[in-house]
Every structure is written in structure tokens, then in C-alpha cells.
Amino acid sequence: MISEKIKNVLNEQINKEFYSAYLYLSMSAYFAQIGLYGFSEWAKIQSKEEIDHGMILFEYILNRNSQVHLVQLETPKFEMTNPISVFEQIYNHERSITSAIDSVANMSESDCDLATRNFIDWYLSEQIEEEAMVSRIISKLKAFGEEKSALYLIDRELGSREYERPEY
Ligand code: OFO
């Protein structure tokens, strides 16, 4: 059994992951509307992965014989300016998720809940990968994205992403 405090923070994290899924899905729609179908596919796949992140937490809470509380999701908010700015907003969003995961790690440590502390390690590594992936896309867009032909190639590259169920 996990403490009330840990149960609450894990439920909040489920909401953050599902919000992330919603955010990426609405970014996917934005990219499709401006003709960047590869970007749109990339964001759609990211949205699926965020649902997986939420579901791993969901299963964990149940496995610890505790309660899942699903609450309302916020409307996804981002500025539909241009691809670089949208990816910068993604980067900032992922950094806020990283600090939320850091808080779960710190809280489980101070609560002497070593199982949760161990469980959350996977998310810490996942955040390193996600921040790095997004930051590489930003660098590429900054280097070449002003040119339409380069943007087309980046769009093709992002469109080749395949969905992989996270190995937990
Ligand atoms: Fe985008 O990350 Fe989930 O945890």
C-alpha cells in the first residue's frame, strides 16, 4: 500500500501524462492544417506514448492496492505560431514534466517508499530521452528550417517515426 501523499502525486502525474497526450494531439492537428503531415504524424505518435506513460502509472497504483482518481483534463494550450516555436513550447512542456517527475522521486524518497522510488526511475530516464529528442529537432529546425526544401526533408524524416510501445 502507498501513502495518501504518494497516491495523490501519482494520480496528479496520470493527469499530466494524459494532458501531454491531449497537447500533442492538438499539435498534430495544427501541423496537419499547415501541410506538415510528417510533423503531424510525429506528434500523433508522441500522443500515444503519453497515454502509455499515464497507463503505466494507472497500473502501478492498482498494483499497490491503491485508488486511481481520474479528474478533468485542461484544454491544451499552445501558440500556433511556427514549427520552431511549437517545438520550443514542447521542450518547455517536457521540462515541466521532468520537474514533476523529480518531485515524485524526491517525495517517495522522503516517504521511504522505495518501491515507488524505484518505479519512477524509468520516467527519469524517459525524460532525458524526450528532452534530447525534442532539442535535436529544434537545433535542426534552427539550422535549416527557414528553407522550404529543408523543411520538407525534416517533415519526411519526422513522418518516418514509428510507434513503439514503451518497454517498461
Ligand atoms: Fe513526454 O513524457 Fe510522459 O512522462
* Mean pLDDT of all residues in 40-68: 98
- What mean pLDDT do residues 22-49 have? 98
Residue 149: left (phi > 0), alpha (psi -120 to 50), or beta? alpha
Per the prediction, the chain carries an average pLDDT of: 97
In sign, the C-alpha dihedral spanning 113, 114, 119, 121 is positive
- CB 115 within 8 Å of CB 64: yes
CA distance to 38, 47, 98, 147, per residue, from 54 (Å): 25, 11, 14, 37
Q: How many angstroms separate the CA atoms of 101 and 87, rounded?
A: 21
pLDDT at 167: 81
Spell out the domains of the chain, with CATH numbers in brackets. Answer: 4-159 (1.20.1260.10)
Residue 24 neighbours by CB under 8 Å, 6+ apart: 43, 44, 46, 47, 50, 90
> Taking residues 35-63, what's their average pLDDT?
98
CA gap 163, 30 in Å, rounded: 20
SS3 3: coil
- Does 13 have pLDDT greater than 90? yes
Q: Which atom of ligand 1 is nearest to the CA of 127?
A: 2
Give the number of the atom of ligand 1 that is nearest the alpha carbon of residue 20.
1
Per residue in 70-95, pLDDT tens? 999 999 999 999 999 999 999 999 99
Q: How many CA atoms lie within 13 A of 86 on its CB side?
A: 21
pTM: 0.96
Ligand 1 binding pocket includes 25 (Cβ within 6 Å): no
Residue among 9, 17, 95 whose CB has most ligand 1 atoms within 8 A, to mutate: 17
